[in-house]
Structure 1
Amino acid sequence: MSRASPVEIIRFAAGAILAHPLRSGLTSLGVVIGVASVVMMTSIGMGAQKQVTDTISGLGSNLIIVTPKQPRSSGGVMAGAGAGQGLSDSDAEAIRRQVDGAAAVAPSVGGIAQVTAEGANWSTTIYGVSPEYPETRDLVIAAGRMFDDRDARQGRKVAVLGPTVVSQLWGETDPIGKRIRIRGAPFEVIGVLGSKGQSSFGRDQDDLVLAPLEAVRSRVIGRQIRADSVQTIFVKAESEEVLGEVQERIDTLLRSEHRIPQGEDDDFETQNLASILDASRTAIGAFTVLLSAIAGISLVVGGVGIMNIMLVAVTERTREIGLRMALGARRRDVLTQFALESVALSLVGGLIGLGIGLLGAAGIAAIGNWPFALPVWAIPVALSFSSLVGLVFGAYPAWRAARLDPIEALRRE
């Protein structure tokens, strides 16, 4: 036997692994845990990023949200962003007329109220808005129509309902033309919004009622806010490219409208959803990399385990190595065999870890109502890295085996 063929080398390596199944399994355990951890952490991070992206994107595209600072709550009016007293109809009108690049401007007020109709009742969120509101929030009218400027000017008490409200009040019945009462005030239903479903955080985006701004202020909210006050102004930019410029123009205009001296803080806030989304993606991406790096340490530990076991195998199989070299096997053949054993152990561990990682990530997504996501490059990268771990940490034991002297090896007991 002058030299071993590649097939014989692979057969010898496979035979050595299968001869000690328990040891081979324990050797691969570190790689299994490492790959499973990396896959699960990457999937969780991608899922978090997708959840945040869907939630922010659901608010509307190319959207700028203007709110007063130091929000306050009063009675049934929603607290939090937009519940202060710093914005008014004149601010929205100034933005509409003077800010270039603003495609639609929609002032808004809102509050929780009980809605009744034909003996049924439902507690929901009532939004007083301008006719441009659906455009700013990317809402679709599925049936009927949206109220227009004429309806708003005439003070008509009309309403557009979300699908959840329709379902709770009438079931499958067409609500167009029917009447509802909001805090005793009658409103005619003229439209139904298209369904947007639940947000990524579980909030029902279809549970709402839209009505003209003035009607909600006078009939629903009443004296809880000023007669011309708005809680939020939604501004839709013409395109994503001009989003930042439009935001700067709004800031400059409102500082002038509110007569804020130079150097003093604004009494309002503008939020660019694109910048919020980018910041969220960057933060979550960095967190995902950190988690994956920590999980990757398990792969290194698994590689050390492979190296230790392979060194023990070299010692145990010294006579076998000597016999093979005496029969004509080259040092290169011995080196290749032990390297193949190491890579095979690591690769098999990587495959098992990949399966466990995918199942674990899917399980977490299902239990926590978390979106399951995994980049297409994750699988080949995980398997390639696990093979690389086996090759790197198996190199020294393979070199030790190849450097054995055949005569000394045959003398070993």
Structure 2
Amino acid sequence: MTAGRRRRPAAGRQESATAGGTAAPHAATAPTDRPETPWTRPVRLSPADLLRLGLVGVLSRRTRAVLSAIGISIGIATMIVVTGIPASSQKALDAELTALGTDRLQAVADRDAAQDGTPASFPETSAAMVARIGAVKAVTAVANTHTSVRRSDKIGPLDESGLTVLAARPDLLDVVNATVASGQYLTKVTERFPTVVLGSDSATRLGFSEVRPGEPPPLVLLGGQWFSVTGILRSVPLAPDLDRAVLVGWDAARRHLGFDGRPTQLFIQADEEHIADVRAVLPATVDPESPSVVLVSRPSDVLAAKRSAEATFSGLFVGLAGLALLVGGIGVANTMVISVLERRREIGLRRALGANRGQIRGQFLTESVVLSGLGGLTGVVVGVVATIGYAAFQGWPAVIPLQAVTGGFAGAALIGVVAGVYPAVRASRLSPTVALATT
């Protein structure tokens, strides 16, 4: 008991010794009471220092770093490819389906609904009224002039070709996706003169193969008036009736064929998302007094297939991209765990030299992010090149979603953070003595 009292001096004696300046040296220099100096203050690593430490681990084990980068790059490249290739295919499909008329409607005058035996037709202002519908992008009209067409005046009236003479406007080709095979279509100038453009079947029946520039144009007889042929159209899938038609300018039909200016058919291009709404209001808009006369074509069935394909592609994108990121993250995490196990002596040495747990965590976390970043950058490049190459091989327009590129690289960095958290924490918890004793 006496010895124990000697080892533990009284509080009063300790305070008086301290106040008098005669305290024992070991009491004044106790570690818990030592003031912090520049020599004992923990060193804070800058982001550049952390990056250099991370690169040391990557460059010292280049083969493993390359393999890890390849693993994450395959995952990111897969994400780019599974989003870019279907997006390119979908754009090609959209163009093909749009060419089939998914955003088009046709309004035709019902012949059976016409009263007093007169030919069915729409009001002269019908096209302008339809154009006022908000979702309508373009509208044009044609009209049956009920005029006969012959190749020569030597042919009798009973030997007519059976083709239809339609009054048309200059914007017809744009609305129905038609193109000219030979010559030129009606313009705002030529539509006023006695000129015609032949459909593909009409040209074949009348015996015209092409219109050669610089040569006198061929002539056809409409009613009792000669018209010069200025162009021949290719086949029009959206409007097969135009293939068997002879197209005359709107003003020329009024002047030379006694046309009354009332259209018999409208071609409408509308916003695809509102095509059903436009169809619902078309009859009352085209002919408010007799909406029953208006027959509106239903949207193409390929529209439903297109929307179904869009939903399928969207689900495929999300599933495959998520799977690719998961595989890449597991690969990086596995690499970092093995790296911690193999570098325990290095960790112990750094801890013995004064590195704290936060610095160890920062080193391994930075190394994981560097590995994932290099893999992500490589994967983005490989994925973009692969997508462009495959799209070119298939003849599709190449589409590289910007979200996939930026999301791929950002996702790689995020994968590096998530995959490096556990290995970094595990490395920081290693005891210096245990780590140095590891063989």
* TM-score interval, smaller chain: 0.5 to 0.7
The residue that corresponds to 1:291 in the other structure is 317
The residue that corresponds to 2:173 in the other structure is 134
Q: Which runs of 5+ in 2 are unaligned?
A: 1-38, 132-138, 145-162, 221-225, 249-263
Aligned-partner Cα distance in 2 for 1:237–1:381: 36
Residue identity in the other structure for 1:131: A
1:262-281 map, 5 Å: 269-271=297-299, 276=303, 280=306
| Superposition RMSD in Å | 4.9
The residue that corresponds to 2:121 in the other structure is 93
Q: Does 1:305 align with 2:334?
A: no
In structure 2, the CA distance between the partners of 1:92 and 1:284, relative to structure 1 (3 Å rule), is farther
Select which of 291, 303, 315 maps to 2:341.
315
In structure 2, the CA distance between the partners of 1:334 and 1:347, relative to structure 1 (3 Å rule), is same
Q: 8 Å contact 2:54–2:364 — kept in the other structure?
A: yes
Normalized against structure 1, the TM-score is what?
0.63
Alpha-carbon offset, residue 39 of structure 1: 0.8
Aligned-partner Cα distance in 2 for 1:86–1:316: 89
1:50-65 map, 5 Å: 50-58=91-99, 63-65=104-106
Q: Does 1:211 align with 2:245?
A: yes
The residue that corresponds to 1:16 in the other structure is 57
1:264-287 deviations in Å (ceiling 9; x for gaps): xxx9841179x939x836742651
Residue identity in the other structure for 2:354: G
In structure 2, the CA distance between the partners of 1:286 and 1:243, relative to structure 1 (3 Å rule), is closer
Query: Secondary structure of 1:373's match?
Result: coil
Of Structure 1 and Structure 2, which has the larger fraction of its residues in strand?
1
Residue identity in the other structure for 1:235: F
Alpha-carbon offset, residue 92 of structure 1: 7.2
The residue that corresponds to 1:191 in the other structure is 231
Alpha-carbon offset, residue 29 of structure 1: 2.6
1:324-378 deviations in Å (ceiling 9; x for gaps): 0111111111001101111111111111111111111011111100110123333
Normalized against structure 2, the TM-score is what?
0.60
1:141-220 map, 5 Å: 143=184, 145=186, 159=198, 173-174=213-214, 177-178=217-218, 188-191=228-231, 211-212=245-246
In structure 2, the CA distance between the partners of 1:3 and 1:407, relative to structure 1 (3 Å rule), is farther
1:45-124 map, 5 Å: 45-58=86-99, 63-65=104-106, 93-94=121-122, 100-101=129-130, 103-106=139-142
- Greater C-alpha radius of gyration: 2
Q: 8 Å contact 1:303–1:389 — kept in the other structure?
A: yes
* Identity over aligned pairs, percent: 27
Residue identity in the other structure for 1:276: L
Residue identity in the other structure for 1:247: R
In structure 2, the CA distance between the partners of 1:234 and 1:362, relative to structure 1 (3 Å rule), is farther
Aligned-partner Cα distance in 1 for 2:63–2:175: 63
Aligned residues: 331
Alpha-carbon offset, residue 179 of structure 1: 5.9
The residue that corresponds to 1:3 in the other structure is 43
Q: 8 Å contact 1:40–1:360 — kept in the other structure?
A: yes
Q: 8 Å contact 1:95–1:105 — kept in the other structure?
A: no
